[in-house]
Structure 1
């Protein structure tokens, strides 16, 4: 995968990787909080072999991407991160993409729908709620956990709670250990309360919602929302029984198959 760099609208230096044929249909695989583009390394190689051009960003404050000094709240808003990703599409020369977002990567996409729905060939989400309403303590708990447990213990415990696949726990633990908890505090302070339901309901393009059967925390919010909304002509909702919050890792075969079929229909 080729590593690329670009400058965000606020001057922050950001990175992404790209693989696959230059003129092929572009796919974006966007990770969640405290992870990084490494989460999708195997998926990127798989979809590139199918003939897609695969773009894998590192959200600001993650992986190889930088972040604004001083951890300002405005520098980590959902709107700012959405602006980052629209700038990425411009830099990558990707006019319209199949977007796949996990957790924070899905939240960012939901914000992008209100700004530039024409950039989406389709949208696939997993581990993403349409809205959240978490207590104020959610943000400060990030650095507190790192201090109390230490990066080693916290990364191992979080990895064990994220996936049952032992081979994937090491990857998750490494990403969490490398993550700056002050970035986590800043981002969580911005995303702990949002409601982007209207954005996805207003999107007329194809939508795939992958529901990890083991992603219990998100499902407490997501499943009732799906029940309230009901069936929609442009939506497909699929259960991944063995999928956790990072379902691309522990339900990879079904995850990839569902995306292939979805994109073929889209």
Structure 2
């Protein structure tokens, strides 16, 4: 485990079988926080480059999504479905457990989908958004292709071999950047059922028509080498979310926070300075 994450907190299981959720909690214990939401198949370790810089000034929560990392999976049969509503409810449970009233949500890929959904369901608890390498909705045929291809690939190859392929096709440098091994380890350690259910929830999302309802200040980030989430998807977010700003993260692929952490973190810092009150002791 990355020593920056040597202590994880835990949201207990819910009364209706909701899974326990693991999360890191760093920085000053205040009621407004930054929540870092990881991508599909990864876990809290995705955010290792951002944890210390952001928690120097802000409270930072870094959860593992259900079925990922150290978080649990619903106490039903192994093929239990996951929905966008489940993710939204999990995030609300996390904030309640941590005593956080409002948060800026920073999400990469699947984490961006989760952030969008939460902002629509809980606008008064959303201080701002950073949506990186993500989307609100895919063409129906493309979504079906991704869901089928990724789920079938994981089942046929097994998660360790599938993780090897993901790392090879996602990172744009050779050798891959620091953090790639953690990405591979997280994906390899997932259950195939949890992964397939998360794939369906992520790529089946249909939030495009509701982007105009978002009133949280929004920064859209896109890695300029990202082949998994083409630029037009980021442009749609920036065009349809009122007041949103699009910035490219140079020399970075789909996981832009890992491939160019300096540029990514600087952009997030700037956005936080605009939307979050600074503490008097900083």
Fold equivalence (TM over 0.5): yes
For residues 241 and 154 of structure 2, the distance between their equivalents in structure 1, rounded to whole angstroms, comes to 41
User: Counting strand residues as a fraction of each chain, which structure ranks higher?
Assistant: 1
Residue 185 of structure 2 is matched in structure 1 by 174
Q: Is contact 2:34-2:60 (8 Å) kept?
A: yes
* Aligned residue pair count: 262
Residue 263 of structure 1 is matched in structure 2 by 272
The equivalences for 1:100-249 within 5 A come to 100-132=106-138, 133=140, 134-136=142-144, 138-142=146-150, 144-163=152-171, 164=173, 165-219=176-230, 221-223=232-234, 225-226=236-237, 229=239, 232=242, 234-249=243-258
- The alpha-carbon deviation at position 159 of structure 1 amounts to 1.0
Q: Is contact 1:111-1:199 (8 Å) kept?
A: no
Please report the TM-score for the alignment, with normalisation by the length of structure 1.
0.89
Question: 192-201 vs 169-178, which deviates more?
Answer: 192-201
- The alpha-carbon deviation at position 180 of structure 1 amounts to 1.5
For residues 241 and 151 of structure 2, the distance between their equivalents in structure 1, rounded to whole angstroms, comes to 40
CA deviation vs aligned residue, 1:61-88 (integer Å, no higher than 9, x gap): 0001111132455x41011111110111
In the alignment, structure 2 segments of 5+ residues that lack a partner are 276-282
The equivalences for 1:35-114 within 5 A come to 35-49=42-56, 51-68=57-74, 69-73=76-80, 75-114=81-120
> Cα RMSD (Å) of the superposition?
2.3
Question: 168-177 vs 52-61, which deviates more?
Answer: 168-177
Please report the TM-score for the alignment, with normalisation by the length of structure 2.
0.84
For residues 107 and 230 of structure 1, the distance between their equivalents in structure 2, rounded to whole angstroms, comes to 15
For residues 185 and 201 of structure 1, the distance between their equivalents in structure 2, rounded to whole angstroms, comes to 30
In the alignment, structure 1 segments of 5+ residues that lack a partner are none
CA deviation vs aligned residue, 1:136-186 (integer Å, no higher than 9, x gap): 454454454245444443322211222223433212111111121211111
For residues 42 and 33 of structure 2, the distance between their equivalents in structure 1, rounded to whole angstroms, comes to 22
The equivalences for 1:5-16 within 5 A come to 5-6=10-11, 7-8=13-14, 10-11=16-17, 12-16=19-23
Q: Is contact 1:129-1:221 (8 Å) kept?
A: no
Change (3 A) 1:138 1:24: same
Residue 4 of structure 1 is matched in structure 2 by 9
